[in-house]
Structure 1
């Protein structure tokens, strides 16, 4: 244990002057909108653009990232808290050099850390923040009081909807709740399963207009993904769709979204802040 602590201290010293990863949560107002599939393929698209990516499956008890890539992970975040394994120990190597941490069951412990558990998580996660360019959290569908606290910690939010009115309304309600607690989190909007480009543009525009009119909330239209049979075929084969068929319309659209996100080609619509994930965790999860 003493050697482990000493190694951790050395690693912390080595990482002190490195840049810090951007943390972003990917969420939806309801289930069944393709959120986890987006999270996985968006992570791969970022990696294809030369970014080092960690994907953290936060879908409590129902995580399916490992299923989408056809690989079973031996460990999850539960093993970090209950078995004393390090975060590196519980990682799985995913396609395109991305790293994955699965959620497993009992993940609510991450939302209600005591101070000792938080300090351990803080020390190890601070190393990951300097090892990666992006750390993505694939959240469970909807929002709970506990998961809302966690969402307040990340730097940015990507909200997935479909053109269905119920999906749009649920996405709006989710952002309204988060905005009522913390107003400065940047929101990026993605519309999935659109039949035409017009459907995608109009859906996102309606959502943006409602956010602006009723909440005074600015948001960025990150893009939309077509309803493409390639996705269902890829899921059946347990291969991410941008690897299954890189020339498919949905794959090209996803790569365009990743390019737009990394290049900040959405202009000055949002005031993007420097990453402060750990200090936010201390504030919102520990109340300090």
Structure 2
């Protein structure tokens, strides 16, 4: 089955000449629903006929497998330790979603020797020609390693909740990125909002703080209500979008994906046209 999937990807690679948009999903702290959003957002984009690869970059502590109730045969760890190809380690999850598991037992990919990392970059570059979107589900907070990925992507989606601690930690994470990349676009998702008024107020206060202290503008991607269905779906280890497509959270996620596709397809300003792989390679070399 793995070989068949790898062959399908190779065939797509031969026939497609796209360039995926790279998106990092981050949060200032854990427990705000970041991985859950990454999973369901990926599924929602796929429902809009987009080719999506979800890449769990919380290496060693990934949650995607847990959220879908499956155990991947391979993970990013196997790519480096067993010399498998990236196409070999891509798993197929619910609704046919393709993803790469974060696995366990490997703390970082940046401390590897240059030969292995160059191989990683070369194969990742090929995947960028297969998909429309590559979603990187980052670990909570920011490490020196994850910062390199964050500085390389086309856009960052920040997940926060109305809780003051969540907003404070999210602000700190954005500040850290801005100090190193003053122009990268940020979109905000307010998760677990009791109602739209609370969600709008949370975003308004958050955006005002960022404008005042960081001189940056952040856009509101969407508000996800505090829907008990999400917890039920997590307990059953199923994406809420498939568990209950008509619940309030699922409707919000569908709206977010449609708005994301519509607004990004009409954007005319390109802040940085440098390919993701080139930027990541440069950051890697600087870290040596």
TM score, norm. by length of structure 1: 0.91
Range with greater deviation from structure 2 (262-271 or 97-106): 262-271
Contact 1:66 1:72 in 2 (8 A): yes
Cα displacement string for residues 144-179 of structure 1 (whole angstroms, at most 9, x for unaligned residues): 122112211111100000000110010000000110
Measured in 1, the distance between the counterparts of 2:280 and 2:12 equals 19
Is it true that 1:187 corresponds to 2:190 in the alignment? Answer: no
Is it true that 1:282 corresponds to 2:281 in the alignment? Answer: yes
Which structure 1 residue ranges, 5 or more long, are not aligned?
1-6
In the other structure, the counterpart of 2:253 is 254
In the other structure, the counterpart of 1:99 is 98
1:89–1:223 Cα change, 3 Å: same
Contact 2:151 2:181 in 1 (8 A): yes
Deviation at residue 199 of structure 1 after TM alignment: 0.6
In the other structure, the counterpart of 1:45 is 44
Give 1:129-140 correspondences, 5 Å limit.
Answer: 129-140=128-139
Contact 1:23 1:156 in 2 (8 A): yes
In the other structure, the counterpart of 2:70 is 71
In the other structure, the counterpart of 1:232 is 231
SS in 1 for 2:250: helix
Which structure 2 residue ranges, 5 or more long, are not aligned?
1-6
Is it true that 1:115 corresponds to 2:114 in the alignment? Answer: yes
In the other structure, the counterpart of 1:19 is 18
What is the root-mean-square deviation in Å for CA atoms of aligned residues? 2.3
Range with greater deviation from structure 2 (160-169 or 110-119): 110-119
Cα displacement string for residues 212-235 of structure 1 (whole angstroms, at most 9, x for unaligned residues): 111111111001100001101111
Deviation at residue 113 of structure 1 after TM alignment: 4.3
Contact 1:218 1:270 in 2 (8 A): no
Is it true that 1:155 corresponds to 2:146 in the alignment? Answer: no
Contact 2:24 2:150 in 1 (8 A): yes
Deviation at residue 253 of structure 1 after TM alignment: 0.4
Contact 2:24 2:137 in 1 (8 A): yes
Contact 1:24 1:158 in 2 (8 A): yes
Deviation at residue 83 of structure 1 after TM alignment: 0.6
SS in 2 for 1:260: helix
Measured in 1, the distance between the counterparts of 2:265 and 2:121 equals 32
Measured in 2, the distance between the counterparts of 1:130 and 1:218 equals 31
In the other structure, the counterpart of 2:27 is 28
In the other structure, the counterpart of 2:206 is 207
SS in 2 for 1:232: helix
1:237–1:11 Cα change, 3 Å: closer
Deviation at residue 70 of structure 1 after TM alignment: 1.1
In the other structure, the counterpart of 1:3 is none
Measured in 2, the distance between the counterparts of 1:26 and 1:211 equals 18
Measured in 2, the distance between the counterparts of 1:268 and 1:208 equals 20
Measured in 2, the distance between the counterparts of 1:129 and 1:92 equals 17
Deviation at residue 91 of structure 1 after TM alignment: 1.0
SS in 2 for 1:27: strand
